[in-house]
Amino acid sequence: MTENAEQRAKHLLYDENGNPTRDRPWIFRTYAGHTSARASNELYLGNLSKGQTGLSIAFDLATQCGYSSDHPIARPEVGKVGVPINSLDDFAVLFKDIPLDRMNTSMTINGTSMWLLALYVALARERGTDEKLLQGTTQNDLVKEYLARGTYIFPPEAHFRIIAEMYEYALERIPKWNASNICSYHLQEAGATPAQELAFALVTAIGVLDVLKERGHFTHEQFERCVGRISFFVNAGIRFVEEMCKMRAFAELWDEITRERYGVENERYRLFRYGVQVNSLGLTESQPENNAWRIILESLGVTLSRNARCRAMQLPAWNEALSLPRPWDQQWSLRLQQILAYETDLLEYPDIFDGSHVITSKVDDLKSQARAEIDRILGMGGVSAGIETGYMKSSLVRSMSERVSRINAGEQIVVGLNRWTEGIASPLLSGDDGGIFKVDGDSTRETLEALERTRATRDGERVKRALEALKQAARDGSSMMEPSIECALARVTTGEWADALREVFGEYRPVTGIEGQKLTLEDDRVRALRQRVDAYAQRAGHRPRIVVGKPGLDGHSNGAEVIAVSARHVGFDVIYSGIRLTVDEIVASAVEENADVIGISILSGSHRELGAQMMEQLAAAGASDDIPVVFGGIIPQDDFEELTNLGIRRVFTPSDYSLTDIMERIMDVVEEQEG
Amino acid sequence: MAADLEALVDRALDGEKLAIARLVSVFEDTRVDAPSRRREVLQHLAARRTRKARFVGITGTPGAGKSTLVGELATRLVAGDARVRVAVLAIDPSSHISGGSLLGDRTRVRFPVGDRRLYFRSQASDQELGGVSRTTFPVCRLLYHLFDYVFIETVGIGQSEIEIQQVADFVFLVLTPLGGDGVQFMKAGIMEIPDAIVLNKCDAVDAARKSYHALRASLSLSRPGEEHLVRIFRTSATTGQGLDELSTFILQLGQDAIGRGMPAKERYFLEKWVRDEYGRQGLRALAARGGAAAVMHAGDFEAAQLQFASEYQQR
């Protein structure tokens, strides 16, 4: 000891030998993956060479929803929002030249989480890497999938079992693996307030731990360690002081819950460990350069307070509201992390908020709100009941509607969107590529060919046996983890693995959560629009009928829900059928309902493919002239012309934030149709 | 227009969805001259060989699983007999502020796309309190000719769902085990409406058994003196339990089992229509003409509407 404890300065950090020190930075990640296993591998190697210290893998929607790339519903989505993975062969390409025993890999994967973990373990086995050394996370949080993101496959009960079996496998075999990651990120994207984010995430964790406890596969000692493996993945919004307080509230509540509810004695296992992706919801399409500042401020919320600092951070890119980021955009975001961690003095201090009355009071306020909400949900039977009754979903849709109402009314200022909207055009958008990223349309072929090769060269008998064993385990309640690894080694495909379990567990259809929701927006324009709608109803003999739908696998339903609620708000009869619909289903609805207009929401970048399919199907039903179609979503300006040529009548993007405006323009379409 | 409607009728009889959908819109049309177009459609239908649908009402609280149940039953009915055609009419509430509505039931019912034998249509309640829409009965008059079975799924607010009894031939009340809604229904007098009860979501075995017996007991209290207690079906969409039994029961609902024939329905809904359109004064005028039964003698429902409207306006 060079200094004893009394002599230590309160503003310094000391290492175990008593020498002043600074903290090690969090893990730097970038959420990445696109096109194909090969292209993504190149991207990862590039990012790692720039100083990124962990991987965060984005999978395409087909992989997330358990379809192989050649399934009809998968085809328009292959490689769009992430990397397509069909079999262990793709995985081997994805991790080429990346040492699994020295990499920390986070996979944003939920419905097919067990499958992807099985592939990772299988790859390690084939490479002769010691499984015990594998480090990383499978996101595996179904609650937010049911509530906000939509890539669930199985009913809640079946999936809680899958999560539990992954924990049971991981605890001794791959002890540094986080089998799941309680993910409140998407809850905030879906409109959750800080207290809701706290409460919903914590009841989800309680849901997982209760299941693990009830299954009784662990001794208490093992269970404590397992509690220590629970990690979280949160969102950090622009109100960064409140967000910082939220993180402190998280840490304190988690300590309380693990101690009181689960009797965890070892302090180490009660630590609140979390990764973060800062908020994308607040990023704007208009004046996108402003997003760079937003990202910096948001990252402060999760780094400033040492007691509640993230373990890993990934930042969105400034142009995320426009398209997927290009490698340069990701590099720019990575540089921000490096500057924050290495240039500033952030990592040199103990917690700089300890002792602040203001912060303590704010944290206490959030905690008591969250506790009340936690009690309410536990009172109705816990997180599964909260999902199945639609309670949690409707709370979120309500919060979202309120947020949108505030922005529309100008009560919540968003710079460049509803205030100070005039400005000099951004030079960032004037490059040859317009500042956005486009997936090479031809790249699907490479993925499909690889899939065919795998199918042609594998041992068909072994595949059959492996799938039978998987189904058998699913039925008799034994662990599906080892059978899944055997499936991976046998070159079973993603679609085959998921289909086998669909056969046993069935597929889940959730409540939409929009029933009974309303907007608070009331102004002269809304009233005028209602009169216009009423006048139409008088003339036409019926209220305008709109079918709102989300085709394809993208499950981010917020946009479609807000449009559905808004349309009713101004007097439309709205037929809303939720997510994961095929184009055929949406067209069939529109035809059977004799709709006056169809509104389609697409965020996955497959608007061109889906637009073409839509118009073909309408033509086949003989309704192309009768039912006009409008599109909304993350659609680059460059694609407007192509969509217009297809016959799409209006295209809305995130810069069309005024709901009244959108509804007026949809009403224009309805009236044009009157002839 | 005349030729148009006739062509639509032929295409609809052929099972073409777009044609059916357009005809339904004719029967939902709220404009004053719409009954004459409806009349024309019905005349075209009368000149052709058509079906004679049975109307099955499905009522019960939100969350009881009505829509999923209807979807399962409809799919089973067509699977059992290739000639059978089934329509679903699902009613959801309208907003009192804007008049608009969110019709979300399609989420729960997933018919195979392209199957001509199944048709689903959502209706907004249009601030009606009876559990069905003002246009439900007119639309049923059309669907009667085009389908063999029509399921009418009510708003399901748990009270004042009385009207379903007037429009349907047979009414099922859907309850969930230990939902506590049994008591609510008893209070609201709804227990007196159903011809049979479906205890749905019976996957939770214990709860289901308890509820079944509690329900039996409360039924004998709320409907004293009835010879036969109404039948209780136990079903689960998750496990498929009881669904075959229930769909077989529906298949066997012969025409003779139908208590409420079309003339009675027409009289009821004519009177209701007069009340909606012309209020108490209208009702007095109707009574002065000898009531709905007398006015109906002028011909069919639509003719009676047209005639009453023109006489009332001349007054």
| Residues of chain A above pLDDT 90, percent | 63
pLDDT tens per residue, range A244-292: 999 999 999 999 999 999 999 999 999 999 999 988 777 888 899 999 9
Better pLDDT: B99 or B269? B269
* CB B172, CB B197: distance < 8 Å: yes
In this structure, of A169-173, A425-429, A492-496, the range with the lowest mean pLDDT score is A425-429
State residue A102's pLDDT score.
Answer: 93
State residue A299's pLDDT score.
Answer: 96
State residue A617's pLDDT score.
Answer: 92
Say if A584 is an interface residue toward chain B (CB within 8 Å): yes
State residue A434's pLDDT score.
Answer: 76
CA distance A184 to A247: 12
CA-nearest residue to A619 within chain B is B18
Average pLDDT of A514-541?
83
Q: What angle do CA A500, A502, A507 make, to 5 degrees?
A: 170
State residue A170's pLDDT score.
Answer: 96
Say if B100 is an interface residue toward chain A (CB within 8 Å): yes
SS3 label, residue A307: helix
**Looking up tokens 């089992």, which residue turns up?**
B257
With a CB cutoff of 8 Å and minimum separation 6, the contacts of A444 are A69, A75, A78, A79
> Quick check: A542 pLDDT over 80?
yes
Q: How far is CA B39 from the centre of its chain?
A: 21
* CB A337, CB A314: distance < 8 Å: no
CA distance B269 to A516: 29
How many contacts does A have with B, using Cβ atoms within 8 A? 118
Q: Name the H helices within chain B.
A: 2-13, 17-28, 34-46, 66-80, 136-146, 164-167, 181-188, 205-222, 243-251, 262-288, 291-296, 301-314
Q: What is the mean pLDDT of chain A?
A: 90
Exposed e or buried b for every residue in B135-147, given b needs 16+ CB within 10 A? bbbbbbbbbbbbb
Average pLDDT of A358-365?
97
Q: Find chain B residues with C-beta within 8 A of A534's C-beta.
A: 99
In this structure, of A61-65, A421-425, A536-540, the range with the lowest mean pLDDT score is A421-425
Nearest to A614 by CA among A653, A651, A640, A588: A588
In this structure, of A7-11, A30-34, A322-326, B190-194, the range with the lowest mean pLDDT score is B190-194
DSSP state string for A409-440: TTSS--BTTTBS---PPPGGG-STTTT-----
| Residues of chain A above pLDDT 70, percent | 97
> In the sheet where A55-58 sits, what is the strand order?
A31-32, A55-58, A104-108, A135-138, A177-178
Better pLDDT: A237 or A581? A237
State residue B1's pLDDT score.
Answer: 46
State residue B139's pLDDT score.
Answer: 96
CA distance B194 to B229: 11
Torsional sign, CA B45, B50, B56, B62: negative
Residue A87's pLDDT band, with cuts at 50, 70 and 90, is very high
CA distance A394 to A388: 11
Average pLDDT of B90-115?
78
Give the tokens for residue B188: 């609201």
> Quick check: B2 pLDDT over 60?
no
pTM of the model: 0.74
Which of B102, B109, B111, B125 would you mutate first to test chain A, the one with the most A CBs within 10 A?
B102
CA distance A178 to B16: 53
Say if B18 is an interface residue toward chain A (CB within 8 Å): yes
Which of A154, A526, A594, A598 would you mutate first to test chain B, the one with the most B CBs within 10 A?
A594
**Looking up tokens 């601030």, which residue turns up?**
B127
Q: Find chain B residues with C-beta within 8 A of A562's C-beta.
A: none
CA distance B174 to B151: 13
Give the tokens for residue A247: 């993180």
pLDDT tens per residue, range B121-161: 999 987 776 778 889 999 999 999 999 999 999 887 655 56
B276 to chain A, minimum CA–CA distance in Å? 16
Give the tokens for residue B46: 């009368």
CA-nearest residue to A571 within chain B is B100
Taking every pair of Cα atoms in chain A, the longest distance, rounded to a whole number of angstroms, is 89
Q: Find chain B residues with C-beta within 8 A of A543's C-beta.
A: 99-101, 124
DSSP state string for A240-299: HHHHHHHHHHHHHHHHHHHHHTT----GGGG--EEEEEE-STT--SSSTTHHHHHHHHHH
CA distance A549 to A601: 6
Interface of A with B in 354-373 (CB under 8 A): none
CA distance A472 to A501: 10
Radius of gyration of chain B (CA): 20
State residue B178's pLDDT score.
Answer: 60
Q: Inter-chain contact A621–B18, Cβ cutoff 8 Å?
A: yes
pLDDT tens per residue, range A588-622: 999 999 999 999 998 878 898 889 999 999 999 99
Residue B205's pLDDT band, with cuts at 50, 70 and 90, is low
State residue B207's pLDDT score.
Answer: 67
* CB A488, CB A88: distance < 8 Å: yes
State residue A85's pLDDT score.
Answer: 97
Give the tokens for residue A455: 């199918």
A422 CB neighbour count, 10 Å cutoff = 6
DSSP structure class, residue B239: T
Q: Which of A512, A573, A585 has the CB atom closest to B101's CB atom?
A: A573
Pairing of strands B196-199, B170-175: parallel
Q: Inter-chain contact A569–B100, Cβ cutoff 8 Å?
A: yes
Better pLDDT: A230 or B227? A230
Torsional sign, CA B22, B25, B26, B32: negative
Q: How far is CA A657 from the centre of its chain?
A: 21
pLDDT tens per residue, range A296-339: 999 999 999 999 999 999 999 998 877 778 889 989 999 999 99
